[in-house]
Amino acid sequence: MKPPSRTPLASVLSTCVLVLALAVTASALTALVKRAAPATAAAGPGRHWVNTWTGMPQLTEPANLPPAPYTGEKSVLVDTTLRQTVRVTAGGPRIRLRFSNAYGDTPLPLTAVTVALPRDGEAGASAVEPGTLRRVTFAGRDSTTVPVGAQMVSDPLDFELRAGSELTVTAYTARGQASLALTSHPGSRTTSYLAHGDHTRDRDLPGATAVDHWYLLSDVEVLASGRSEAVALVGDSLTDGRGSTTNGNDRWPDQFYDRLHSSPATSDIAVLNQAAGGNRVLNDGLGPNVLARLDRDVLSRSGVAWLILFEGVNDIGTADATPAAQRAVTDDLIAGYRQIVVRAHAQGIRVYGATLTPFGGSTLYDDPAGEREAARQRVNAWIRTPGHFDAVIDFDRAVRDPEAPDRLRPALHAGDWLHLNPEGYGVLAAAVPAGLFRHTS
């Protein structure tokens, strides 16, 4: 008779050792994950990061570079403090800044950065409210260098922001950028200030040089409530605000934001103006075309749930005023719109199409044979057709002259029959149905 086998006991012991090892490994892995995710822990329960302000990055044209002596032959912003204000559209207890070197061909060194509230809460103010100034850090350090083509995100900073308020951001770069390839948003319609030396901690900048451009800063994010989401507005100079009031915050996106925040149902929605003058859907203009910048300016932004697309006039206006050229640009625009919808839907973003507004009488785009107007009508007919967008916003109907539908109402344009004045932008803002922005979560 064989002695009893010892194999079952060995198997039991092996199993116990394996279970213990797995338990230890799981505990270590859990601890590792917790240590590796400080950003999630920092967000806190029921809060998440949402973009509260954006300025579409562009390559600065020579005419929009900082004036002398802040621009030299081969460098810009050497030993320079830059102070600028931006209007935020969502509030919260913590913020982060993003600085862009998207168009730089040399690294961008930032020596020191601070934030504060502007004096009296005014847009374009050179002074800040006493006691509100805070130091901004990057990986715990005062300074950072933004690599070529990249952006740099600051550390989260405890700084209470109220939706609709102004934020002052002051940056100093000792060495400046060692080329003239500067990243900016020229159409700020907001005054910024330049001064030599490090004045990031100064309450005011007396004698500073005023410029109506934003430079380097591309985004502000806020740690917002869990219900807060953002709507991104993609457009050209009509959305960027040409014809609006400098430091007046009366572009149509501003007035649309004011409408949303007047109602408790939509008061936690951020509005992100991702527009630039001269921009086009299909080809580069002032800034990359929409198909090229969609990922950067919309799909990668924090908290975006909706997209309003109001762009195409510059595509039509810069194409030859011939039947063949206008038919081609119409077909290409519609194909481009389809691409934008598909790519946004893949990220769970609803897309609303806005009809193109009239430009009859504009010396820039109107043509005697009406070929461009015919193209605009064809594009608008496609936009209005159900099933192409998640909803349609009829800006054309809102601002066109009933007596001359190829033209803007005379009281609404800024003098060129193409861009609108603040009253006209208010009409656009009122034409966006607030009911389109029901929370997605």
Question: Cα(275)–Cα(232) distance, rounded to whole angstroms?
Answer: 10
* Per-residue model confidence as pLDDT tens digits over 71-114: 999 999 999 999 999 999 999 999 999 999 999 999 999 999 99
Question: Cα(354)–Cα(15) distance, rounded to whole angstroms?
Answer: 65
Residue 11 is predicted with a pLDDT of 44
Q: What residues pair up with 219 in beta bridges, in sequence order?
A: 54, 98
The model's confidence at residue 12, banded by pLDDT at 50, 70 and 90, is very low
Decide if 214 contacts 66 (C-beta within 8 A): no
Residue 44 is predicted with a pLDDT of 56
Percent of the chain having pLDDT more than 70? 89
Q: Which two tokens stand for residue 93?
A: 């207890």
DSSP state of 3: P
Of 29-38, 91-100, 163-172, the least confident: 29-38
User: Does the pLDDT of residue 59 top 50, yes or no?
Assistant: yes
Decide if 275 contacts 312 (C-beta within 8 A): no
Residue 404 is predicted with a pLDDT of 98
pLDDT, mean of residues 49-55: 98
Q: Where are the beta strands (DSSP E) in 291-349?
A: 304-310
* Per-residue model confidence as pLDDT tens digits over 379-398: 999 999 999 999 999 999 99
Residue 10 is predicted with a pLDDT of 43
User: Does the pLDDT of residue 39 top 70, yes or no?
Assistant: no
Rg, the chain, Cα only = 26
* Per-residue model confidence as pLDDT tens digits over 317-375: 999 999 999 999 999 999 999 999 999 999 999 999 999 999 999 999 999 999 999 99
Decide if 258 contacts 430 (C-beta within 8 A): no
User: Does the pLDDT of residue 20 top 70, yes or no?
Assistant: no
- H helices then E strands: how many in the chain? 10, 23
User: Does the pLDDT of residue 308 top 70, yes or no?
Assistant: yes
Is the C-alpha dihedral spanning 398, 399, 404, 409 positive or negative? Answer: positive
The model's confidence at residue 439, banded by pLDDT at 50, 70 and 90, is confident
Question: Cα(93)–Cα(159) distance, rounded to whole angstroms?
Answer: 6
CA 188, chain centre distance (Å) = 12
Decide if 127 contacts 169 (C-beta within 8 A): no
H-state helical runs in 37-98 = 38-43
Phi, psi of 413 (to 5 degrees): -95, 165
What Cα–Cα distance (Å) separates residue 203 from each residue in 82, 206, 211? 13, 10, 19
Question: Cα(38)–Cα(136) distance, rounded to whole angstroms?
Answer: 18
Query: For residue 362, which of 354, 353, 370 has the smallest C-alpha distance?
Result: 370
Question: Cα(157)–Cα(396) distance, rounded to whole angstroms?
Answer: 43
Q: Which two tokens stand for residue 266?
A: 């939509």
Residue 441 is predicted with a pLDDT of 59
Residue 438 is predicted with a pLDDT of 81
User: Does the pLDDT of residue 6 top 50, yes or no?
Assistant: no
Question: Cα(286)–Cα(279) distance, rounded to whole angstroms?
Answer: 5
The model's confidence at residue 43, banded by pLDDT at 50, 70 and 90, is low
pLDDT, mean of residues 251-275: 97
Is 355 strand, coil or helix?
coil
Query: For residue 295, which of 353, 247, 343 has the smallest C-alpha distance?
Result: 343
The model's confidence at residue 287, banded by pLDDT at 50, 70 and 90, is confident
Query: For residue 75, which of 113, 55, 110, 105 has the smallest C-alpha distance?
Result: 105
* Cis amide bond preceding 69, omega within 30: yes
The model's confidence at residue 434, banded by pLDDT at 50, 70 and 90, is confident
The pTM assigned to this predicted structure is 0.89
